[in-house]
């Protein structure tokens, strides 16, 4: 498949199957796949163009800086990326849920409602984060 076909395939993964890919990454992933698995060459001008990092818009209004959210909400007191503290390591959470299609939705619910019993006897209190913030956290955790 060529660059256009791969880019459309990525678009489909994102839109129809809910793959956690941001709009801005679609063209570069499509370009990458078409070079590695398709008919495109890495030095095609359109490939070079599509691979450029997007000019990132500054986050609007709300604090969606994940590191700030993790610190301000006390997540880092109970969670570490690599090792279990009170709660499971983010790496372990990612490993457990990565393959599930509704992983983001599940983690958003867990973050907002807290809970216990899935990882042991310790309880996670409900976290006071809005939907957007919980989603940003879930996406981040799943990338670990
Ligand atoms: C007081 C400690 C504590 C804090 C603070 C805390 N967690 Fe947890 N977290 C836990 C524990 C304990 C578990 C395991 C719960 C279980 O076994 O079901 C957990 C589980 C999770 C899970 C996995 C849920 C699942 O469905 O498997 C996610 C995701 C998570 N935490 C994210 C966060 C985020 C994001 C924050 C901050 C907004 C946060 N946690 C703050 C203790 C905490």
CA atoms of 133 and 69, how far apart (whole Å): 8
Number of C-beta neighbours around residue 50 at 10 A:
19
pLDDT tens digit sequence for 50-95: 887 666 555 554 447 899 999 999 999 999 999 999 999 999 999 9
CB 89 within 8 A of CB 83: yes
Long-range contacts at 114-120 (CB < 8 A, ≥ 24 apart): 119/87, 119/88
Q: Is 116 in the pocket of ligand 1 (CB under 6 A)?
A: yes
Give the pLDDT mean for 18-32: 85
Q: Is 18 in the pocket of ligand 1 (CB under 6 A)?
A: no
CA atoms of 84 and 82, how far apart (whole Å): 7
| Cα 11 to the center of its chain, rounded Å | 16
CB 1 within 8 A of CB 39: yes
> Which atom of ligand 1 lies at the shortest distance from residue 93's CA?
23
Q: Is 71 in the pocket of ligand 1 (CB under 6 A)?
A: no
For ligand 1, atom 39, the nearest C-alpha belongs to 75
Specify which of 12-16, 35-39, 83-87 reaches the highest per-range mean pLDDT: 83-87
């Amino acid at each position: 498949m060529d660059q256009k076909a791969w880019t459309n395939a990525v678009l489909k993964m994102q839109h129809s199957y809910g793959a956690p890919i941001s709009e801005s990454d679609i063209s570069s992933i499509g370009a990458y796949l078409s070079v590695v698995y398709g008919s495109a060459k890495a030095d095609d001008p359109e490939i070079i163009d599509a691979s450029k990092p997007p000019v990132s818009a500054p986050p609007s209004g709300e604090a969606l800086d994940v590191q700030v959210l993790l610190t301000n909400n006390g997540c880092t007191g109970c969670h570490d990326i690599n090792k279990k503290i009170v709660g499971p390591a983010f790496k372990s959470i990612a490993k457990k849920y990565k393959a599930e299609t509704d992983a983001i939705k599940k983690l958003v619910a867990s973050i907002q409602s807290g809970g216990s019993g899935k990882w042991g006897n310790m309880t996670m209190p409900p976290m006071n984060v809005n939907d957007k913030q919980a989603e940003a956290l879930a996406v981040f955790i799943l990338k670990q």
